[in-house]
């Protein structure tokens, strides 16, 4: 979904309906929803801590630019990124936008 790579988050984004959620998730390989479809997550693995932290820094840049912030679980050779829209208690297009942009990071290719 190339349009997700260029999109800007909308603070008023509504929850995704089931059909849109399925279509968006199909366009985000590696991202999986939780059983309640309230968040999506993906684990990125790395060779070393330096690569992991470079990835975390790049994710932080996206979060700042989009004003939409993920939960990060960071270890020495991996980072799990989770997105949900807390103000909506579920998934919005904002989560998909950020997930697509994180997946497209050059640092993610080391994963």
Structural domains in the chain, sorted by start: 14-110 (3.30.1360.20)
Q: For position 111, what pLDDT does the model report? A: 57
Backbone angles phi, psi at 61, to 5 degrees: -65, -40
Confidence check: pLDDT of 76 > 80: yes
Largest distance between two CA atoms of the chain: 39
CA 59 to CA 107: how far, in whole Å?
Answer: 9
pLDDT tens per residue across span 2-21: 799 999 999 999 999 999 99
Q: Which residue has the higher pLDDT, 2 or 101?
A: 101
Residue 93's closest CA among 6, 5, 39, 15? 15
Decide: pTM greater than 0.85: yes
Residues in the chain: 111
Report the mean per-residue pLDDT for the chain: 95
Q: What DSSP state is assigned to residue 13?
A: P
Q: How far apart, in whole angstroms, are the C-alpha atoms of residue 9 and residue 25? A: 17
pLDDT of the residue at 106: 85
């Amino acid at each position: 979904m190339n349009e997700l790579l260029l999109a800007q988050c909308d603070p008023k984004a509504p929850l995704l309906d089931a059909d849109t959620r399925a279509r968006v998730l199909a366009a985000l390989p590696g991202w999986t929803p939780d059983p309640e479809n309230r968040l999506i997550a993906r684990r990125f693995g790395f060779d070393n801590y330096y690569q992991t932290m470079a990835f975390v820094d790049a994710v932080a840049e996206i979060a700042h630019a989009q004003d939409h912030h993920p939960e990060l679980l960071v270890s020495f050779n991996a980072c799990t990124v989770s997105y949900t829209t807390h103000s909506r208690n579920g998934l919005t297009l904002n989560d998909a936008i950020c997930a697509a942009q994180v997946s497209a990071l050059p640092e993610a290719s080391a994963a």
